[in-house]
Amino acid sequence: MTKRLENKVAIVTGANSGIGLATAKLFAAEGAHVYITGRRKEQLDAAVADIGGSVTAVNADSTKMEDLDRLFAQVKADHGRLDAIVVNAGGGSVLPLGQITEEQVDDTFGRNVKAVIFTVQKALPLLNKGSSVVLIGSTTSIEGTEAFSVYSASKAAVRNLARSWALDLKGKGVRVNVLSPGPTRTPGLVELVGDDKNAQQGFLDALASTIPLGRVGEPEEIAKAALFLASDDSSFVNGVELFADGGKAQV
């Protein structure tokens, strides 16, 4: 059977951990040449070994313009084009209204909004007809979550970027969609409650009870949805928010 990303060039940002790592692995297995990014060099090297296949790591912080320029310059020099980009790098922290800090807002909106805008804008010259942009959103884009307003607002912004960019890209043949995971078992999720393993398990159990499927998601399940949106299987899907959330935000 033909691989679904055979001969495609893809970037997954923030791919040394969690959802990004699982997505890069799947894309490589489906025949893509995958570029992965992240700020932590050691984890990035470990990810390259883990992914195997055709993968190039670029140690880049998505909030830094010069790092993004270096990433796209390398892809341009190597391939001259980009077929799919999963803008996944991001994260957040927990603080209730009354304790929100300027630092938290700058970090969250820097990584989840500003970095997303400039990652896609700088990718644009490499994106041809038929290419796909996948922005990683979150169920928090449409739900309220206690002590998680700053992160949630940043993901609501991501959702609108896709709507508006679908118009900006009109006629170019470039699709842009949001993939919004529900709670998914990743280092980024469990570390929201610190590094105590019991506290992390209790947190996952509490989240599972809010999900109609009765469990949290696994990174590999989100990766499969990303593959759908990145590949030609979704050739007429544009501007949507696809939820992979076990039903959490759908009921």
The site for ligand NAP (CB under 6 A) is made up of: 13-20, 37-40, 43, 61-63, 88-91, 111, 115, 136, 138, 181, 183-184, 186-189
In the bound complex, what is the minimum distance in angstroms from residue 181's beta carbon to ligand NAP? Answer: 4
Strand 82-87's sheet: what is its strand order?
A: 55-59, 33-38, 9-12, 82-87, 127-136, 175-181, 241-244
Pairing of strands 127-136, 55-59: unpaired
34: amino acid identity, one letter: V
Task: For residue 190, give both structure tokens.
Answer: 């469990």
CB within 8 Å of 69: residues ≥ 6 apart: 122
Q: How far is CA 162 from CA 19, 132, 141, 144, 151, in A?
A: 20, 12, 12, 21, 17
Kindly name the residue from 72, 109, 148, 151 that is annotated as catalytic.
151
In the bound complex, what is the minimum distance in angstroms from residue 238's beta carbon to ligand NAP? Answer: 21
Residue 35 falls in the annotated catalytic set: no
| CB of 115 or CB of 126, closer to ligand NAP | 115
CB within 8 Å of 44: residues ≥ 6 apart: 16, 36, 37, 38, 57, 59
| CB of 6 or CB of 205, closer to ligand NAP | 205
| CB of 19 or CB of 126, closer to ligand NAP | 19
| CB of 63 or CB of 132, closer to ligand NAP | 63
In the bound complex, what is the minimum distance in angstroms from residue 163's beta carbon to ligand NAP? Answer: 18
| CB of 129 or CB of 197, closer to ligand NAP | 197
Crossing angle of the two packed helices 149-168 and 115-123, in degrees rounded to 10? 20
In the bound complex, what is the minimum distance in angstroms from residue 167's beta carbon to ligand NAP? Answer: 23
In the bound complex, what is the minimum distance in angstroms from residue 165's beta carbon to ligand NAP? Answer: 17
Closest CA to 59 of 39, 76, 74: 39
| CB of 90 or CB of 246, closer to ligand NAP | 90
Q: CA 35, 237, 7 angle in degrees (round to 5)?
A: 35
In the bound complex, what is the minimum distance in angstroms from residue 44's beta carbon to ligand NAP? Answer: 7
23: amino acid identity, one letter: T
Q: What secondary structure letter does DSSP report for 112?
A: I
Q: State the catalytic residues.
A: 151
